[in-house]
Structure 1
Amino acid sequence: MSRVVVVGAGVGGLAAAARLARAGHHVTLLERAATVGGKLASYERHTDVGTFRFDTGPSLLTLPDVFAELFATCGADLRERVDLRPLDPVVRHRFADGTWLDSSSDHATFLARIDATLGAGAAGDWDRLWRRAGRVWRASWRDVLTRDLDRPLAAARLAWRLRDLAAIAPGVTLRDAGRRALRDPRLRTLLDRYATYAGADPRRAPAALLAIPYAELAHGGWYVRGGLTRLATALGELCAETGAVVRTHEGVSRIRVDGDRATGVELDGGGFLPADVVVANVDAAHVYGRLLPDRRRAVAHRERSLAGFVLLLGVRGASGLAHHTVTFPERYDAEFDAVFGGRLAEDPAVFVTVADDPAVRPAGHEAWFVLVNAAPHGAVDWRAPGVADRYADRVLAVLAARGIDVRDRLVFRELRTPADLSDATGAPGGAIYGTPAHRLRRPGNRGPVRGLFLVGGSVHPGGGLPMVALGARIVASAIGPAW
C-alpha cells in the first residue's frame, strides 16, 4: 500500500482522495480550513425572521454524470446522497434593451424561445452555431478533457479530424465566432458570458470555449436541494467510506523534494508527513511559487483569471425571479476592460441566484446570491476602507436601474470580496479559476518532480465542478492502483 497525501479538500482533492483510497492507497487529505469543499462553501445568517443559507461558491451543477461515475466507482449512488433538481430555465437573461430570454436544456424549446423573443433568423443562427458547438464538445471530451495531456507525445496524438479542427478554429476567439455566426447582438452577448465561466475575456478566449454553453445546455443545469454544499458533504462522506483520512485545520507549508522526487509535506504547525505521492489541490501558482522548495518551474501563465464580488442578501417577500438571472449592461466590453485592467466596472453584468427552496430561507423571504465579475485583490485593493461597501451600493443601484430594485426589502446584506476568497481558499488574489482560459492549455496535472500531481481549477482540464472532478480522475488514473 502506497502513501498518498492530498493537499487541499476542495472538490478536486476530495474526488482524488476517494478514488485513490478506493484503489487501495493509504490516503491522508489535509485541509487548512475547518470544513471540506474549498470554494464550494456556504454561509448561514441567523436573524429574527429565521435562518438564511447561501452557497458562496458554485451555484449550478452541470454534467452530473461525471459525479455519478465517481460515486459509482467508489461503490455509492450519487442520487441517493444528494437531491438533484433540473432547472428550467437554466438561466434567465435580461439584455440592455429590456428583452428577456430564458435558456433551456431542451434544444427545441430554446429555439422556440429565441424565435418568439428575437425572431426566426436569430433562432436559425443559434441552431447552426449549436451544431458546431456540439462538434467542439465531442472533440474536446474525447481528446482533451478526459486525457492526461502531460504524457509524452500526448498532444501530438490528438485525434482531431479536419471537421473537428474547422469547428474548433484554432486562432479564432469566442467573440469572433459569435460575430461570424450570430447576427443578433443579444445572442452575441449571451455567448460572450460563457467565457467568464473559464475566468476569461471573450475577446481573447479561444473559440473552443463553445464547448461550455453546449455542455451546460445539452446536459442541463442542476440544483442540489439544500444547497450545492450538500455535494461537498457527500464527497467528504465518500472519502471516509473509502478509507481516506481527512484532517481539517491542517495546513501545509512546503512540499519536500529529495533529489527528483516528492517525499512528503511539511505542516504549518511543524512536523513532516511522509508520502510516496503528493497530490496538490491548491492553485498552481501557489504550488510553484510557495510550496516547492526551489520554485522548480514557473507557471506558464502568470495572468490571473477574473475574480468575483458577492453580495449575500436576505430579502423580504417574493421576487418572481428565476433560479438564475443575469442582467447585461449596454456596453459589455467596458466591463471586460475594467476587470482585466484592474479597475471596478461601473456598469457590470449582474448574476443573481434565488433558490426556490424552503431549506435555504425563512417563509416569506428569499436568500439572494448576487455576483459580479471583478479584478483580483492586488489589482484592486479590496481591503481599503469603504471600497467594498461603496461597490455594493453601486451593484444594487445597477440592479434597480434594470428593474430589479430590492433595496427597500433588505433584511441584511453580507459582502464577499476577492480578498476574502483569497484568505479562505489560498487562491492568489481570489482569482476564481487561477489562470484564465486565454489559451487552450492550462498548467498540467503532473508536477516537475516525480510523485507530484496537481488537481483543481487552475490546472488541466480547467475550472468548474465537473472539470475539477475530471482532473481528479485523470490524476488517479496516472497514479494507478496501490503497489
Structure 2
Amino acid sequence: MARIVVVGAGVGGLATAARLAATGHQVTVFERADTVGGKLGRYTHDTPAGSFHFDTGPSLLTLPEVFHDLFEATGAKLDEYLDLVPLDPIVRHVFPGGGPTLDSCADPVEFTARIGAALGDRAAADWQRLWRRAARVWQASSRDILRRTVDSPRDLAALAWRVGDLAAIAPGRSLRGLGRRHLSDPRLRMLLDRYATYTGADPRRAPAALVAVPYAELAFGGWYLRGGLGTLADALLTRCLDLGVVVQTDATVTRIDATGGRVHGVRLAGVTAPVPADVVVANVDALTVYRDLLPHPRRLAGLTDRSLAGFVLLLGVAGNTGLAHHNVFFPDDYDAEFDAVFGDPGRGVRARPAADPAVFVTVADDPMVRPAGHEAWFVLVNAPRHGTAAGAVDWRRPGLADAYADRILDVLARRGVDVRDRLLFHEIRTPADLGVATGAPGGSIYGTAGGLLRPANRGPANGLWLVGGSTHPGGGLPMVTLSAQIVADEIGPAW
C-alpha cells in the first residue's frame, strides 16, 4: 500500500483518488479552495422570485461510458449517484444572415437528414464523407492514444498506425483545412471550426485530428445531469469518502519534495512539517507544477502556447425564451474572432476581446436550477487569457468587464435574442476570475492549446504523475476522467 497525495480536487484528482483507494492505496487529497470540483464550478443567486443555480464550467457531458467505467471501477453504479438526461438537440446552431437553424443530435442518419433539410443535399453528402473520415480518426485515437501514456513525440511515432489511419488523421493538416477540403457550405465549416475551441485552439492551426471531437459528441450523445453538472463533483466526493480517501479543503500545496530523482511528499502553506508521500498526483495546471511546485525549466519551456479562455455572463431571465439547452449564435466573420482572441505576437498584434464573437448560451430546462417562470442562462464567449503579454488581456482594467458584458447582450439582441429588459440580474466571470478561482494560469481553460501531444502524465521525478485538462489526453470531462484512469493504471493496485 502506497501513501499517495493528490494535489487538487478537480474531476481528475477526485477520479484518480477514488480509483487508487479502490485498489487499496492510502490516499489524501489537498484542495486549495473551500470546495471540490475545480473548473466544475457552481454559483447560486437568490432573488425574491427564488434561487438561480448555475454551472460555471462545463455544461455538457459526453462519452458517458467513461463515467460508467469510473464508477464501476470503484465498486458503484453511475445511475445510483447521477441522473443523466440525453439532449436532443445537443446544440442548436444559429448561423449569420438568418435562415434555418441546425439542431445536432446523436443519430448520424437523423443529423444528416437535418443538414439536408436546413442546408441542402450537397451539404448533407459532404457531411457524410467527413463523418466517415471522423469515424476512422476516432477509432485510431480511442485505440492508440486516449487510454495510454504518451510521453513524447517518439511515443506517437512508435504507435502502430495503420496506413488508412494516417491518411484520415492527416498529419500536418489543420482542422480548418480539413473543413475546406470536405465541406462546401460555409455554415458547416463554421460548425466544424467551433470544435477546435473545445480544446482551446484556433481551427486555422489546430490539427485535423480534432475532427474526432465532434465525432465523439455526435456519435455517443450529449447529456445533462439533472441538478447541474456540478453534481458530478458531489458524486465523486462521496465515492472518495466512502472508499476512505481523506479530502482536505482550504489546504494549499506550495511545493512537491523530490530530491534524488523521486518524490518524498509535499509542503502545505502554513504547515511546518512536510506531508510524506510515496506517490504524488498533481491535478493542477502543468504550468503551475513546473513553474511553482517542482520547478523544471525544460518542461516549463514547452508550455508557452496557452489555450483560449472564456468570458462568462450568468443571467437571471424572466419568462421563457424557447431556446434549446445549448445554443450557439455564430458571427458574420468567425476569423475576426480568432484574430482577436489569439492575436499575433509575432507581428505585434495584441489579443483583444472580439467585437462580434460567437455566443454560446446554455439554458437548462430543469426546475432544480431556476424558479418557475424563469430561466438561468450561462453565456460564454471565447476570450483571450488574462495577463499583460501580447497574447493576453488585462481583464482587471477598470470598466472593461462591464462594457464587454453590455456588448455581448447587444450582440445577442442583434441576433434575435434580446433579454435586456427581462434581466433580474447578471453576474460576470472573466478569465481573471477563473484564474483566481481554480488556479488556472491566466484563466486558460485547457492549459496549452489543443493538439495531439499534451504535457505527459508521467512527471520528471519517480512517483510524480499529472492528471487533468492540461495534460494528456486533453481537456473536457471525459478526457480528464481518462487521464485519471491512465495514471491509476500506471500506478497499479496496492496488492
The interval holding the TM-score normalised by the smaller chain is over 0.9
Name 1:298's counterpart in structure 2: 300
- Residue 318 of structure 2: aligned partner: 316
1:351 is the counterpart of 2:360: yes
Does 2:386 align with 1:377?
Answer: yes
What residue in structure 2 maps to residue 462 of structure 1? 474
Taking a change above 3 Å as real, the CA distance of residues 302 and 294 of structure 1, as seen in their structure-2 partners, is: closer
C-alpha spacing 1:152/1:204, structure 2 compared with 1 (3 Å)? closer
Aligned AA (1:114): I
Would the alpha carbon gap of residues 222 and 311 (structure 1) be closer, same or farther in structure 2, given more than 3 Å must change? same
Q: Which amino acid is the alignment partner of residue 461 of structure 1?
A: P
User: What's the CA shift string for 1:6-32, capped at 9, x where partnerless?
Assistant: 000000001000001111110000101
Secondary structure at 2:40's aligned position in 1? coil
Residue 346 (structure 2) aligns with? none
Shift of 1:449: 0.8
Q: Can you list the C-alpha shifts for 1:162-217, whole angstroms capped at 9, x where unaligned?
A: 10011000000000000000000000000000000000000000000000000000
Structure 1 residues 262-305: Cα deviation after superposition (integer angstroms, max 9, x where no partner): 11100012231110000000000000001115656325231110
CA–CA separation in structure 1 for the residues paired with 2:152 and 2:277 = 23
Q: Aligned match of 1:286 in 279, 288, 302?
A: 288
Residue equivalent to 1:436: 449
What are the ranges of 5 or more consecutive residues in structure 1 without an aligned counterpart?
Answer: none
Residue 143 (structure 1) shift: 0.5
User: What amino acid does structure 2 have at the position aligned with 1:48?
Assistant: P
Give the 3-state SS of the residue equivalent to 1:112 in structure 2. helix
Residue number in structure 2 paired with 1:46: 46
Sort the Cα spacing of 1:170 and 1:153 in 2 relative to 1 into closer, same or farther, 3 A.
closer
Match of 2:439 among 418, 426, 439: 426
Q: Deviations over 1:397-431 (max 9, x none)?
A: 00000000010000000000000000011100000
| Correspondences of 1:260-271 after superposition (within 5 Å) | 260-271=261-272
Q: Per the alignment, in what secondary structure is the counterpart of residue 299 of structure 2?
A: coil
Residue 415 (structure 1) aligns with: 428
Name the aligned partner's letter for residue 455 of structure 1: V
The aligned amino acid for 1:408 is: D
Distance 1:224 1:125, change over 3 A: same
The residue correspondences of 1:206-221 to structure 2 (distance < 5 A) are: 206-221=207-222
**Residue matched to 2:205:** 204
Distance 2:251 2:443 in 1: 21
After alignment, is 414-423 or 97-106 more displaced? Answer: 97-106
- Matched residue type, 2:438: T
Contact 2:88 2:105 in 1 (8 A): yes
Give the aligned residue type for 1:227. Answer: G
- 363, 367, 374: which one pairs with 2:376? 367
**Contact (CA 8 Å) 1:456, 1:463: kept in 2 or not?**
yes
Q: Distance in 2 between matches of 1:311 and 1:157?
A: 45
Aligned 8 A contact 1:314 1:412 in 2: yes
Q: For residue 478 of structure 1, what is the amino acid of its counterpart?
A: E
What residue in structure 1 maps to residue 72 of structure 2? 72
In structure 2, the gaps of 5 or more residues are: 344-350
Q: Deviations over 1:321-374 (max 9, x none)?
A: 000000000000000000001211000000000000000000110000000000
CA contact (8 A) 2:150 2:453 kept: no
- Residues 24-43 of structure 1: matches in 2 within 5 Å? 24-43=24-43
CA distance in 2: counterparts of 1:290 and 1:149, whole angstroms:
24
1:479 paired with 2:461, answer no
1:95-151 Cα offsets, whole Å, 9 max, x none, are 112131111111111111111110011001001100100000000000011111239
Contact 1:299 1:443 in 2 (8 A): no
Contact persistence 1:176–1:203 (CA under 8 A): yes
1:181: which partner in 2?
A: 182
Calculate percent identity across the aligned residue pairs.
68
Q: Distance in 2 between matches of 1:178 and 1:152?
A: 26
- Tell me if 1:333 matches 2:328: no
For residues 88 and 416 of structure 1, what CA distance do their matches in structure 2 show? 28
Q: Is the 8 A contact 1:256 1:293 kept in 2?
A: no
Quick check: 2:152–2:456 contact (8 Å CA) kept in 1? no
Residues in 2 aligned to 1:94 and 1:125: alpha-carbon distance in whole angstroms: 20
Secondary structure of the equivalent of 1:17? helix
So what's the TM-score if we normalise by structure 2?
A: 0.96
For residues 98 and 30 of structure 2, what CA distance do their matches in structure 1 show? 48
State how far apart, in whole Å, the 2-side matches of 1:404 and 1:88 are. 21
- In the other structure, the counterpart of 2:132 is 131
Tell me which residue corresponds to 2:91.
91
Specify whether residues 419 and 348 from structure 1 end up closer, same or farther in structure 2 by C-alpha distance, changes over 3 A only.
same
Deviations 1:232-273 (A, max 9, x none): 100000111122111111110001112101111000122311
**C-alpha separation in 2, matches of 1:362 and 1:297:** 49
Residue identity in the other structure for 1:385: P
Aligned residues: 482
Q: Is 1:21 equivalent to 2:41 in the alignment?
A: no
Q: 1:288 touches 1:299 (CA, 8 Å); kept in 2? A: no
Using the TM superposition, name which of 92-101 and 168-177 deviates more. Answer: 92-101
Range moving further from structure 2, 167-176 or 142-151: 142-151
Partners of 1:257 and 1:293 within 8 A in 2 = no
The answer to whether the 8 Å contact 2:290/2:297 transfers is yes
Give the distance between the partners of 2:20 and 2:151, measured in 1 at CA.
19
